[in-house]
Structure 1
Amino acid sequence: MLKASAIMAAGTMVSRVTGFVRTMVLAYAIGTALLGDAYNAAYAIPYSILDLLLLGVLSSVVVPMIVRAQQRDADGGRAYEQRLLTLATLTLAVIAVAAAFAAPLLIDLYTVWDRDSREFEVAVMLARFILPQLAFFGTGAVAGAILNTRDRFAAPMWAPVLNNLVVICAFLLFALVSTAGGDIAKVTDGDLVLLGLGTTAGIVAQASVLIVALKRAGFSFKPRLDLRNARLGEMAKAGVWTIGYTVVTQLGFVLTTNLASAAGSVVEGHGISPYTLAFQLFQLPYGVIGVSVITAMLPRMSRAVSDGRFDDVRSEFGSSVRLVCSLMVPVSLLLMVLGPAITVPIYGHGANSVADAVYIGNVLQVYGLALVPFALFQLLLRVFYSFGDTRTPVFVGAGTTAVNALLMWLFFTLLPARYAVMGLALAYAVAYALGALTAWWLAGRRVQGLGGWSIGMALTRMYLAALPTAVLALGAVWVVTGVFDGLGFVNSLIVLAVGGGLGLLLYLGVAHRMRIPEVNSIVGMVAGRVGR
């Protein structure tokens, strides 16, 4: 699993690095004020559906069904895969077209902007060009799922790199040819066409790479409309609960964007954009580490459940948790300490001020609290999905979303508008911590225990090993901000080099001395590759 995860993590790391550059260029070109909010509101709709598609429907329904088809069908599941790809492509193409026509309704749903306002008008026009991405999302996502079941993990993790490069070029071109900058009143229809089509072109390129990789893996696509053999009844039975989970999560996301847009209307630069950019940075460690491990884990766990090997399920889950948390724990502490130092070099340029970048970092600091609980929550859901159980995650997700919604509304009501988005991040952290505890209890009953004592002891040792790193990072912040009076670009890089770079090396050294097996495995693998 470590080898497969390392391949995916390498691709994901490059993808996330180029994603950093993408968000840097985005903030530079259009800022995080009203124009940035309009773009992020339009982009959030297909992006949230993509996130739910990859982490929900594919992992809970499609991957286990493909694995079963490969095991049971005489042709190794090839015909079933072709039917599935045909169905997904046609269905999502229709949804994409319908969504583009319904853009005003969708923007109205996700924000509190007045329909006569400029930001609403801009967001609707951008959405009409961005929402057709859904068709290409679907094709690429199913292609990636088929590749994963064949243990071909590299292409799905590297394809987003091309997406990022295409969008980076579109943003740079916008910065060169447009005179609007971050001023929403000056942006032209041509500028919006460039931003919208440039964003969609990136997803088209990403889907194309996955289709090519699928063909190289020996899969020849043949459109199949004989849907009687597509096991739609079985898929619907499993998928109805996943759709329920999607609806519940979407309701929470709708509330989030509405509250964030309301805060941004009061304090410009403190709305949807800082929330979105901080959330993307928060997702980076999970995307590099957690998704890689989960993608490698789920097919094997599904096979173990299919064969009735519950001991292997517990072992697979325990090793996945320890492997993920061995890196998530120090990163979460560093996010809580170094948030502004991370965001100033990335976002404090062009149309975005240093003060705006610092606020994004403040939101990121609060999100650091949620990193480990969120990763555990996602790992626990895969235990249910490996059983083909998509019903339990709906109830767990509904409870988590309800707590999150209640806390978001409470913090939004109690906090001043300039702290409202930070309150949304805090609500997210508390809700997922409670959700992880609930999911752990339910999953433990399903497999007769998850080895909580041994996992808890392992996590305790990881936190103890990471404490010196947090102290070093905090000291770097105090010294640099005290000597140089604040966080500028150069000052932030110094803090990151000392607190982040040396801090992580310190963690690896302490963890190695404490003989934490997962860290030793990672260090040994890296040292072996460097030695070659």
Structure 2
Amino acid sequence: MNGGLYRSTHAAPDGQPPAQEGVTVVSVEEPAPAPQPGQDGGGSTAGQSAIMAVGSLVSRVIGFVRNALIGMVLGEAVGDAYTGAQFLPGQIYELLLGGILSSVLIPLLVRRRKADPDGGQEFTQRLLSFAVVMLGLATALVVLAAPLITAIQTSGDKTEPAFRDLVTNFSYLILPIIFFTGVSALIGAVLNVRGHFAAPMWAPILNNIVVIAVCGVFLLTFGTDKELTPENISGAELVLIGAGTLLGMVVQAIGLLPALRKVGFRWKWRWAPRELGLREIGHLAGWMLCYVAANQIAVFALVRALNSAGGEDNPGALAFNNVFLLMMMAHGIIGVSVMTALLPKMSAAAAEGRLDEVSDDLSRGIKLVSAALAPIVVAYAVLSGPIAVFLFQGGRITNADALDMGTVLTVAAFAVLPLSISFLCTNVFYALQGNKTAALINLPVVAARITGYFVLAAILDESLTAAGMTAANGISYLLSALISLAVLRRRIGRLNLGSVFVALLKVVLAAGVAAGLALLVVRLLPGSGAPDGRVEALVQLAVGGVVILIVYLGAALLLRVREVSQVVGMVRRKIGR
């Protein structure tokens, strides 16, 4: 959930409902009408974008603090159980609402806002009333079924009964998050449709602050002297962390309510499900539900594999999730931003049959994302140890635990670019109104991902299971990108793949030079890439980061990587002013 939890979809901006991946998590919604000053959200589009950008950055930073503290407070063994319990509400939310919200309900709200005399007020009230009831019933049923769900998800010869019981106990406290996540996402959709973007972007920060405060109370009350295990964690410790996590989401949902009044929406109870056109909604949501369901099956297989291998000496769900957050940060800042800028233009071109422009925009997006992500990929691969030690070591997370996370991050580095390219391709299908095609492509991708989970879990040592699961994700992202490009080539014609290949080759060469020199420099520093503490980690990050950035930019300019040259030129012009 918010604060960072792996989903089988491309990551959306914090606080926004996830859009499904052509693999984890943006939206295929129609653009909301731009707010006019004094109406709805008010303010200029540029002002709203600035607020969203700052909110996203602040939320991501605070989210990392939250997750690092969770690890420090709980340690790996109990942290794995806590993270496993958090997977459950994420999976259920995705099945109930996640993809349907972004691909069906938001466009529907936009249409009703334009067409209805009251601006869609009454229809939105009916939809929220119906959704709240359904979310409440679903949440109650899932909480009652928590022992059965966790028994299946944690089954295995190597899973200790104490660990399984701990996941179940955490689930009782955390699963009600489903209801408040759904309500929060629905309120965010109503606000976005009315041109207000700030509150949904900033609300998750409240959630993270609450959980950070709970971690602080935990440390002050119980300390870190005792090594926490599934066998010795007390009821008070369990309740404080579990209930505190739930409280964070409750505060997030409540924090959005004032914004509803600001945009002129009144949440009045209207129970009229027959007037919602549920048959139409169900028809539109069918392929997206298929898409989401396939992804959640993959998440289920992932959690089982991580639970079977994780333990006091092996990186499990906690390590995997921490690294996944780093991967999603790079993708979110670059891939999601590029697609957000391109999607309205691509959608308009597709609607008017200008498929050559769609092709040009996709090619441009791939080149730009590759050039921008390359130095981040190099940093994750070369500086994985220092990054993990600096971010996660402390409390009950030892230096060895953090370096194990660094190993997972090294593998994740090679999954970042395929993830973003597959994400771009999937959103092209959305622009073309090709939800069915995206769902059908996702089926073999998910099958390959699940196969990778089981095969790698069987052949790898348990200490490498989290890295293996990350590798399986990366392979499936690459497969998704290749299949999507092949289908798009048949659907919209030429994709300028020759120029894309040349650009990618130049980027790889520049990144390779930067990686080689940075690796050499870091090996000469104290710690040799495996720092013993935060001081050594910070030195390696500072020196290695500067080398990577300077060498990559220099090599890219020499190789005439157009996208890098454009960015450097823009910076020079701004400095000149």
Q: TM-score, normalised by structure 1?
A: 0.89
Superposed CA offset, 1:83-128 (max 9, x none): 4333333322222222111111121222226898222222111111
* Alpha-carbon shift at residue 314 of structure 1 (Å): 3.9
SS at match of 1:31: helix
Q: Determine if contact 2:356/2:493 at 8 Å carries over to the other structure.
A: no
Q: Does 1:105 align with 2:142?
A: no
Q: Determine if contact 1:59/1:385 at 8 Å carries over to the other structure.
A: no
Quote the residue 2:70 is aligned against. Answer: 26
- Structure 1: distance between partners of 2:525 and 2:95: 41
Question: Of the candidates 54, 70, 75, which is equivalent to residue 10 of structure 1?
Answer: 54
- Structure 1: distance between partners of 2:293 and 2:333: 26
- Structure 2: distance between partners of 1:84 and 1:444: 39
Q: Aligned Cα RMSD in Å?
A: 3.2
Q: Does 1:159 align with 2:176?
A: no
* Alpha-carbon shift at residue 381 of structure 1 (Å): 1.6
Quote the residue 2:256 is aligned against. Answer: 210
- Structure 2: distance between partners of 1:530 and 1:367: 35
Counting only pairs closer than 5 Å after superposition, residues 133-212 of structure 1 correspond to structure 2 as 133-150=177-194, 152-178=196-222, 180-212=226-258
* Alpha-carbon shift at residue 518 of structure 1 (Å): 4.6
Q: 1:462 to 1:104 in 2, by over 3 A?
A: same
Superposed CA offset, 1:463-510 (max 9, x none): 344334323431233112566975432111111112224523554565
- Structure 2: distance between partners of 1:511 and 1:200: 47
* Alpha-carbon shift at residue 525 of structure 1 (Å): 7.0
* Alpha-carbon shift at residue 386 of structure 1 (Å): 3.0
More helix by share: 1
Quote the residue 2:304 is aligned against. Answer: 258
5+ unaligned residues in a row in structure 2: which ranges? 1-30, 32-44
Q: Determine if contact 1:27/1:351 at 8 Å carries over to the other structure.
A: yes
- Structure 1: distance between partners of 2:490 and 2:164: 48
- Structure 2: distance between partners of 1:22 and 1:289: 23
* Alpha-carbon shift at residue 59 of structure 1 (Å): 3.1
Q: 1:194 to 1:531 in 2, by over 3 A?
A: farther
Q: 1:52 to 1:433 in 2, by over 3 A?
A: farther
Q: Determine if contact 2:191/2:197 at 8 Å carries over to the other structure.
A: yes
Q: Does 1:351 align with 2:407?
A: no
Question: Of the candidates 436, 441, 457, which is equivalent to residue 486 of structure 2?
Answer: 441
- Structure 1: distance between partners of 2:340 and 2:124: 18
Counting only pairs closer than 5 Å after superposition, residues 484-503 of structure 1 correspond to structure 2 as 486-503=531-548
Superposed CA offset, 1:386-408 (max 9, x none): 34432222222221111111122
Counting only pairs closer than 5 Å after superposition, residues 373-384 of structure 1 correspond to structure 2 as 373-384=418-429
- Structure 1: distance between partners of 2:504 and 2:271: 50
Q: 1:273 to 1:215 in 2, by over 3 A?
A: same
Counting only pairs closer than 5 Å after superposition, residues 475-514 of structure 1 correspond to structure 2 as 475-481=520-526, 486-508=531-553, 511=556
Q: 1:223 to 1:469 in 2, by over 3 A?
A: farther
SS at match of 1:185: coil
- Structure 2: distance between partners of 1:509 and 1:154: 38
Question: Of the candidates 287, 290, 293, which is equivalent to residue 244 of structure 1?
Answer: 290
Quote the residue 1:92 is aligned against. Answer: 135
- Structure 1: distance between partners of 2:75 and 2:443: 34
Q: 1:121 to 1:493 in 2, by over 3 A?
A: same
Bigger mean CA deviation after superposition, 211-220 or 376-385: 211-220
Q: TM-score, normalised by structure 2?
A: 0.82
* Alpha-carbon shift at residue 325 of structure 1 (Å): 3.2
Counting only pairs closer than 5 Å after superposition, residues 53-452 of structure 1 correspond to structure 2 as 56-112=99-155, 117-150=161-194, 152-178=196-222, 180-265=226-311, 268-295=313-340, 297-298=342-343, 301-311=346-356, 313-452=358-497
- Identity, in percent, stands at 36
Size of the alignment, in residue pairs? Answer: 530
**Which letter does structure 2 place at the counterpart of 1:261?**
N
- Structure 2: distance between partners of 1:510 and 1:347: 32
Q: 1:159 to 1:522 in 2, by over 3 A?
A: farther
Q: 1:95 to 1:50 in 2, by over 3 A?
A: closer
Q: 1:52 to 1:441 in 2, by over 3 A?
A: farther
Q: Does 1:462 align with 2:507?
A: yes
**Which letter does structure 2 place at the counterpart of 1:64?**
P
* Alpha-carbon shift at residue 221 of structure 1 (Å): 3.3
Q: Determine if contact 2:314/2:463 at 8 Å carries over to the other structure.
A: no
Q: 1:490 to 1:518 in 2, by over 3 A?
A: same
Bigger mean CA deviation after superposition, 176-185 or 196-205: 176-185
Q: Determine if contact 1:339/1:365 at 8 Å carries over to the other structure.
A: yes
Superposed CA offset, 1:417-446 (max 9, x none): 222222221111112101111012223333
Q: Determine if contact 1:5/1:296 at 8 Å carries over to the other structure.
A: no
5+ unaligned residues in a row in structure 1: which ranges? none
- Structure 2: distance between partners of 1:509 and 1:155: 40
